[in-house]
Amino acid sequence: MLKRLSPREKFEQLIADFEPLLRNAFMESIADIKSNIQIKRIVERLERNDIAGAIDALYLDPAAFRPLDRAMAQAFEGGGVSTVSSMPMVREPDGAKLVVRFDTRNHRAEAWLRDHSTSLIRDIIADQRVGISTYLTEGLEAGRGPRAVALDIAGRLSRATGRREGGIVGLTSTQAKYVATARGELLSGDPEQLKHYLTRGRRDKRFDATVRKAISTGKPIPVETVDRMTTQQYANRLLLLRGETIARTETMGAFNESQMEAYRQLIDSGAVAESVVQRVWHTAGDSRVRDTHQGMNGQTVSFRTPFQSSNGPLLQYPGDPSAPASEIVNCRCRMSIKIDFLADLD
């Protein structure tokens, strides 16, 4: 006999189905950008100290992120369809069961998808430009050659795959700074800085013996090895983390917005009054829940009233993109919506 899934289990199953779709779409977009990079054009601009021109030569344009755009639309529709299938039965005045379907072509649904996707992709590109600009500027000021710095940005061609691997394209500006700092630690020859490198959670631990040897012998780590450790392996791992973070956060946002939209469409049909619809916040119920969300478990609000974090911010739902990043990134909370059929009978 098949086990009946709890609401939390259904929610986690949806996340598990769509999160990889968004992660892979982001990674596909970054791979497309890297595959079209022409190192010669970037180097020519760097030789003229034209940082902005070098960044333009990477072609970080919104069209490259169409796979992510499409994946978000699929997650949004998946969440809406799931919500409709879980709605309590609503009947017409004559007693017939009301047929409800999720309409992704609804003007509100289309507007949210268009505006949110545009904003997300714009922010991803803008933050990358900041990180890349800083990395290029600091690299050139440190006396590194234009080609070496360009390869740090774009990644180096793999002999095995023929594709560019590593590089800071796709990383956040903060992650790009991590890569630059890690590189500096490894090249410093300073035992304390080398020891600090060994505390980095996303480092490739296969090189730990190399670092420990450098600490004990005082001999520098070859530049080529440092490049492999940082702008290749470390950057690759940070990029995967970036993809996972985007996937989790955006899947949550898309699901919960589609849940709201599904009930808006139900209310629009006239079958249910907005006044009888309530929303409830549920945490994951474990020690990993944000401190600001711990006290929100069970918080119940009317359909349009936002939830309030103990820290002050208002959220329409877990993963609300209008809320501060500190409240939504990697959030695992969920929202349920219920209809109180007796609410208007008093």
Between 100 and 213, name the one with better pLDDT: 213
> What does the DSSP assignment read for 314-331?
EESSTT-TTS-HHHHTT-
The pTM of the whole model exceeds 0.75: yes
**In the 8-state DSSP scheme, what is residue 2?**
P
- Please give the pLDDT value at position 90: 74
Domain boundaries in the chain?
7-272, 273-346
User: Both ends of the chain: CA-CA distance in Å?
Assistant: 42
Q: What are the tens digits of pLDDT across the range 43-75?
A: 999 999 999 999 999 999 999 999 999 999 999
- Residue 333 to residue 289: CA distance in whole angstroms: 8
Q: Are 185 and 179 in contact (CB under 8 A)?
A: no
Q: Are 291 and 312 in contact (CB under 8 A)?
A: no
- Residue 143: pLDDT band (50, 70, 90) is very high
Q: What are the tens digits of pLDDT across the range 259-284?
A: 999 999 999 988 899 999 999 999 99
Q: What are the tens digits of pLDDT across the range 163-183?
A: 888 999 999 999 999 999 999
Averaged pLDDT of the chain:
93
Q: What are the tens digits of pLDDT across the range 32-47?
A: 999 999 999 999 999 9
Strand boundaries in the chain, DSSP class E:
156-157, 164-165, 277-282, 300-302, 307-308, 314-315, 334-339
